[in-house]
Structure 1
Amino acid sequence: MGRGMGYLAMKNEQLQMTNLIDSDINELNLAIMALIHDASQMGGHLGFGNHFLKWLASFAAMGEFGRWIAFVAVVLRLFFHRHFPDWMEIPGSLILLVLVAPEVLAHTVKDSWMGVVVLLIIGCYLLQEHIRATGGLRNSFTQTHGLSNTIGLLLILAYPIWCMVIYMV
């Protein structure tokens, strides 16, 4: 008889645990539904996503941390592209575009000789990499896509060269 009672008591405890788990899942379901309702009240269906992205952007903008992440991403991508993982390209570009680019272009580099020098260096580097990838200067003008890419890169170089001439005069 003792064995039967222990078995019944154990089954009773499992039933109570199942009831507790079910009630917890019901409470979690109610909390999620309340969150969805409150989020939709904040600004339509996109309200929660908008607020989440604003929170994420403000977190990334704290201090100089975002600038350093973007700087490291650019250096790795430009100079160590073989070691730069492909999955890091989109987050690095996003941080660069959202956090660093507007401030740097609007306040420090725009309309200064330093910005022109940076553009000239980037253009020369891209042209050199293009010529190396096509197999030489002659091939960069004779291949199908090589000609259009070379002309585009030379046009990219035309603006900084023209600005350097204007600054020197």
Structure 2
Amino acid sequence: MLRRLAVLALALVPALLGSTDPAAAAWAVNGAGPAKSLAVLVPQGARPTVSETTDPATYLPLYVVTWNTGFVATARPVTGYQIRRIVFPGTSIAKVEVIGKGTCAGTTVDGLPNVYVPGSPGTATQSCTDAEGYAKGDVQYTVTPVYGRWTGPTSSPSAIYS
């Protein structure tokens, strides 16, 4: 019995190894002469401003985070933003949090988590809401632009809001 299993296993190994395709990569350029390409530079996030409003459905406060739209060198708007909340800023217990409720929470895009994707990416400003910041005490917000799978430098924090 053991001998049959060993023979079967040895017979399957070449079949399993032969079924995978080898990896290959190449970069071909047709033509002659110098070639140029601009690098895509993801800009630093713009410092956000924060205002408070009331959710008409729950009557709870919402923080509205607003910032200027980021554009890459080709004048295209970035594809999204990672918005972070700083709780208890300026203290020894300060921490950066991912936003879990509201439109600032975002979704996973190209493997990057918590990306807010604006409905109109080319407008002059963007904004989203944080539906749980009011329960955290003093808070600040930062904005990190996303272009595809790349992220730009994070903005300086907003003013402290309590």
Give the TM bin, normalised by the shorter chain: under 0.3
Indicate the structure (1 or 2) with the bigger Cα radius of gyration. Answer: 1
* Larger strand percent: 2
* Larger helix percent: 1
Structure with higher RCO (Cα < 8 A, 6+ apart): 2
TM-score (norm 1): 0.26
TM-score (norm 2): 0.27
